[in-house]
Structure 1
């Protein structure tokens, strides 16, 4: 078996996902969620509205993307077309 160096790159063919959850609360976290969105602006707008309505200010944000393990010698533009 030959060792081939790999690198991790973002899969540009897949759409990242953004979300937030309200973790404000005295006894337990609020738990309200923004839902998953394809752009962070939608999540930030949900957080602004939730803060205005509840005065909650603490959020857990998540960002999910998709990755490709590609041989290091491949160019990123070419990797976007490679399907594992």
Structure 2
């Protein structure tokens, strides 16, 4: 039996998406969520706009991508 080392890397042919969810609130989180966006800049813009409208400043950022696992 032979041990093989693997490396995980981002799949360049896969889509990368970002989303933001407002988690501001004392007892109940706001819960406002951006649509699925194509980059971190778009997510940052959505958060800045939501902050300007509401004063909310705490967000959960969600990043998704596709990964490849290959032998080293």
Give the unaligned 5+ runs of structure 1: 73-84
Tell me how far 1:71 sits from its aligned partner: 1.1
**TM-align CA RMSD:** 1.1
Equivalence map 1:3-18=2 (5 Å): 3-18=3-18
Give the unaligned 5+ runs of structure 2: none
**Residue 4 of structure 2: SS of its match in structure 1?**
coil
1:19 aligned onto 2:16: no
Higher strand residue share = 2
Structure with the greater relative contact order (CA < 8 A, sep ≥ 6): 1 or 2? 2
The residue number in structure 1 matching 2:40 is 40
Distance 1:39 1:6 in 2: 28
Equivalent pairs, count: 72
